Amino acid sequence: MLVQAFLLALVGLGLLVVAGDLLVRGAVNLSLRIGIPALIVSLTIVAFGTSAPELLVSVDAVLSGAPGLALGNVVGSNIANILLVLGMPAIISGLHTSRVDTRRSYLTMMGGTLLFIGLAQFGAYGRVAGVILLGALALTLYDQFRDARAHRAETKAARDDATLEGANPHMRMWKIMAFLIAGIAGLPIGARLLVENATVIATAFGVSDAVIGLTLVAIGTSAPELATTVAAAFRRQADVALGNVIGSNIFNLLGIIGITALIAPVPVDDQIARFDLWVMLGTSALLAPFILRRHDIGRLWGVVLTGGYAIYLWLVLI
């Protein structure tokens, strides 16, 4: 049983890597075809596509009578997205984030984080909280598409095709859509294989559900973001990498818990309220120098971020 679980988890991981690369290719080339910057596409299509596993896991958790797993999944995934998903690609090749202006999106993410923590003080995310979170997401999407439309009008004649390594502005639309569909479909399937079988392995070793939610399930559902960001880092597309993480975190907080809370109340676990929510806020604040001051995330900072995640896991496990 354990051997089968290990093999299926590896299959899921492989599917995530392939699907992540397909999604990056499709998103970048779609941005070239319709005149929208790759960053905007990453903040929407890529980010929401790679957040599909978190949504599936969270909804399944509340329907299965385990709403605490839903919250742990989202909070743990947001922490993993910043420390692990940005840290590991930075170690591999560095992320030239100084070339990307994501200040507005980053401030939106910080605002969403503060709203999320504020609503947690009521002890549970009910339907009212769900409506508030989804309303904030709708405003965020409207703002992003308005910026995209403005950018398209301003850069109708001149595009930054040359800055996107591996991009093909003449790629046929059917091929672009095939990449996007294959990537978005493959990511949740791969994540589900990885999470379900990793959970079987963890349960066999006597790990609690709370720890599984904050660590194993969170890492598993963040695997699509990691696969996509690593692929983007190798292609020198920091805008896709950073936009993916920021967009995914926004969607996790506002969209996933918003939708889940409409289905059933999501209680706030005491440990998450005392510790993990504030870790999530602190890790989000760590990005401020790189985004607001436009610094690159070099290999050394990649080690710091990844090491910080290892320390977080250690604190949760003990």
Instruction: Tell me what pLDDT residue 273 has.
Output: 92
Instruction: Tell me what pLDDT residue 164 has.
Output: 45
pLDDT in tens, 176-195: 899 888 888 887 888 778 77
The percentage of residues in the chain with a pLDDT greater than 90, rounded to a whole number, is 29
Q: Distance between the two ends of the chain, CA-based, in angstroms?
A: 27
Residue among 45, 161, 39, 41 nearest 102 (CA): 39
DSSP string, 112-123: HHHHHHHHHTTS
Q: Contact, 223 vs 282, CB < 8 A?
A: no
Instruction: Tell me what pLDDT residue 113 has.
Output: 97
Instruction: Tell me what pLDDT residue 282 has.
Output: 96
How far is residue 61's CA from residue 25's CA, in Å, rounded to a whole number? 32
What distances in angstroms separate CA 44 from CA 168, 181, 195, 224, 240, one per listed residue?
20, 14, 24, 15, 11
Other Cβ atoms less than 10 A from the Cβ of 175: the count is 13
Instruction: Tell me what pLDDT residue 247 has.
Output: 83
Query: Which amino acid is it at 316?
Result: V
Any idea which residue has 């870790």 for tokens?
279
Pull the structure tokens for residue 176. Answer: 């672009």
3-state secondary structure at position 165: coil
All domains in the chain, ordered by first residue? 2-317 (1.20.1420.30)
What distances in angstroms separate CA 146 from CA 98, 115, 131, 288, one per listed residue?
24, 23, 22, 24
Taking 50 as the pLDDT cut, the residues of the chain under it are 155-166
What distances in angstroms separate CA 239 from CA 29, 50, 235, one per listed residue?
13, 16, 11
Instruction: Tell me what pLDDT residue 261 has.
Output: 93
How far is residue 88's CA from residue 245's CA, in Å, rounded to a whole number? 13
Alpha helix ranges (H) inside 235-317: 238-250, 257-263, 270-271, 277-286, 288-292, 299-317
The pTM of the full predicted model, rounded to 2 decimals, is 0.77
Instruction: Tell me what pLDDT residue 26 has.
Output: 82
User: Phi/psi of residue 125, each to 5°?
Assistant: -95, 105
